[in-house]
Every structure is written in structure tokens, then in C-alpha cells.
Amino acid sequence: MKKVIASFLFILLCYFSFSSFSSYENEKYTKTTELQDVNNGKKLYEKSCIMCHKASGEGYGTSFPPLAKSDFLNADTDRAIRIVIYGIQEPIVVNGKKYENFMIPHKDFSDQDVADVLTYVYSNWGNNKTKVTAEMVKKQRTKK
């Protein structure tokens, strides 16, 4: 009888151990698939942003602000999302320097595209590594 109970407990222990492991693997997979596509972000940056902000994210003089180590960018992710979607036509101050040029809107970017390009920018040039999601972008599309 003791062997039957011990065997039963052993089987239960194995079952719960493997089901927990399986759950962990599923959670790990889900988290991995939720990460943004930085390669797509880089392609979008090279296609749509590089002309004004340079390959290094340094910007151009007093015309186009830097994205590299940008206090303005790193201070407010929601604002950065809205600027990519709607553009900006008002003066801004980045790293203590005033910029009075405009940025064109990218309304043609999908939520995922905006998330990817901003995640790419935040992941480079000394920025704060923010991971922007399509859900975050979707929330900002209703605001202006």
C-alpha cells in the first residue's frame, strides 16, 4: 500500500513539475513573440527617418534634432509616438538646443511599424531602451 501511495505521489509530482515547465515555456515563447521587430524598425528608419536624423541619430545642425541621447525623446514615449504619427510643427528643445523645423506625419505607418521604428531608435545611440508596443501606439492614435 505504501508503494502504491508513494508511486501515486511521485506521478503527481512529475505531472505538476512538467506542467509547470510547459507553462514556463509557453510564457517564455509569448514574451519572445511580443518583442518588437528591430530589423523592421531599422528598415523603416533607413527609409523614412535617416534623411533628417542621420544614420547615427545625430540630426542636422539646428534644422533636425538628434535622436541620439535625446532628453526630449527619452522623457515621454507617448509624445514620441504621437510625433511619429502626426508630425510636429512647433519649436522643441532637445538637449538644451532649440529646433524650429517641422516633422512630417507618418500616418501611413501601421501601429506595428511605429512600434518597431521607435523601439529601434530607443534601442540605439544611448537612449533608454524603451520597448514600444503596437498597443501603446494604438492608444495614442486617438489623441493629438
- pLDDT tens-place string over residues 120-144: 999 999 999 999 999 999 999 987 6
Residue 17 confidence (pLDDT): 40
Model pTM score: 0.73
Domain boundaries along the sequence of the chain: 1-34, 36-141
What is the b/e burial string over 21-32, where b = at least 16 CB atoms within 10 angstroms of the residue's CB? eeeeeeeeeeee
* CA within 13 Å, CB half, 50: 10
Asked whether the beta carbons of 81 and 118 are under 8 A apart, the reply is: yes
Residue 79 CB contacts under 8 Å (≥ 6 apart), including other chains? none
What average pLDDT is seen over the chain?
A: 81
pLDDT score at 82: 97
Which residues touch 77 (CB under 8 Å, ≥6 apart)?
118, 122, 130, 132, 136
Looking at domain 36-141, what is its CATH homologous superfamily? Cytochrome c-like domain (1.10.760.10)
Main-chain phi, psi angles of 88, to 5 degrees: -150, 140
Q: pLDDT tens, 17-37? A: 433 333 333 333 223 334 567
| pLDDT the model gives residue 107 | 87
- Strand 97-99 to strand 92-94: parallel, antiparallel, or no bridges (unpaired)? antiparallel
